[in-house]
Copies of this chain bind each other. A is one copy, B any other.
Amino acid sequence: MQTHIPNKVLTTALNLFTTKGYFSTSMRDITADSAVSTGSVYHYFKDKEGVATALYRSMIERMRVALLHIVSTHDTSHDQCHAVISLLFKIAEEEPEVMSFMLYTKHREFLPAEPPVCSSEPFEIMRSMVQSGMDKGEIEQRDVLVASTCLYGGAIKMITSHLDGILDQPLSSYLDDIWACSWRAVASSKS
């Protein structure tokens, strides 16, 4: 049972946005499901877009912290990137709404002011892991965007498949297989 009103609103909004979509959830839906009155919602948030922005920012921030923690607790790019994909899979399974809103939602459509997810700080941290892997010779030299896209692309596609419900097995059971493919795509030949 949550008591803090902004959190109640954000949690409700997250659920509604990911199940019905941003445009198909009305402020009335949010007030009804969260049991918070219209007045209160507008007291804490400027408008509907403000709710979505707050949600988006809080998730970006959460990811940023988690990724920086991974960087500081793993030595090789190999281990860092593996930890990233493990983390993404874990969140996708335990909190699919969070992953869904972060990866699978076209924020541009209702958050025109925010930069695209791929330009966000978390994705930049992920790319910097790849870059340092290339500097150290773990990862073959090539355009860092290409390498990152190939390394993470498969895993992310797998997550969206999971969110779409087209996977037979639990997502985590694919982790080793996906990682083997993804790493092989970019690893330098000497490793």
* Copies per assembly: 2
Q: Chain B residues with Cβ under 8 A from A155's Cβ?
A: 153
A186 within 8 A of B: yes
Query: Assuming A149-B158, A153-B156, A158-B146, is B185 touching A181 (CB within 8 A)?
Result: yes
Binds B, one of A44-52, A61-69, A76-84, A103-111: A103-111
Contact at B23–A150, with CB atoms within 8 Å? no
Q: Chain B residues with Cβ under 8 A from A143's Cβ?
A: 174, 177
A74 within 8 A of B: no
- A149–chain B nearest beta-carbon distance, Å: 5
- A174–chain B nearest beta-carbon distance, Å: 6
Looking at chain A, what size class is its interface with the partner chain?
35 or more
Chain A residues within 8 Å of B, Cβ to Cβ: 21, 23-24, 104-106, 108-110, 116, 118-119, 142-143, 145-147, 149-150, 152-158, 160-161, 164, 166-167, 174, 177-178, 181-182, 184-186
Q: Chain B residues with Cβ under 8 A from A161's Cβ?
A: 118, 145, 149
Contact at B181–A146, with CB atoms within 8 Å? yes
